[in-house]
Amino acid sequence: MPMFKRALARVVEILHLFPQRQAFLLMAISAAVGLVIQIYSYFHDRLPPPTDQCQMLKTSILSQITAAGKCDSDSDCLVASFGCPFNCNVTVNKHSVVTPITHDIESYNNHCGFCVDQCAVMPLPTCVKHQCQLPVAP
């Protein structure tokens, strides 16, 4: 800290020696500080969150997908494709709102890693014990 104070005192001393350059130096310092802040913001926004935050978000998304799959009859069910790592063919209730799930998945993929699945077309889901499910392959 004393070194910083001495450096700052020296800058102030130089500014007093050259008053006509004060405005220029202050603008240069201001621009440099602004640039440092922009660089920090750029890289800070692109750093992945800690693994535990990613796991918590993934768990939350999986819970939302399960809740969206509640049903009373086969006609309530449809297949949604949320993609990797949340599976291509997921059964949900046709009346459930999946937009928040989709936004959370986008956030997960942007911050925790992105993967791509090639999704195949699946048969129609059925409602089994109030949960939409895909038929089991023979």
How big is the CA angle at 99 (ends 48 and 63), to the nearest 5 degrees?
A: 70
Residue-wise pLDDT tens digits, 11-32: 667 666 665 565 666 666 665 6
The whole-angstrom separation of Cα 117 and Cα 34 is 41
- The count of other CB atoms within 10 Å of the CB of residue 78 is 16
Domain ranges of the chain: 54-133
Q: Which of 133, 111, 118 is nearest to 61 (CA)?
A: 111
User: What pLDDT, on a 0 to 100 scale, did the predictor assign at position 113?
Assistant: 75
Angle at 47 between CA 46 and CA 51, to 5 degrees: 135
Q: What is the pLDDT of residues 32-90, one digit of tens each?
A: 665 566 666 665 555 555 678 888 999 999 999 999 999 999 999 988 888 778 877 88
Give the Cβ contact number of residue 126 at 10 Å: 17
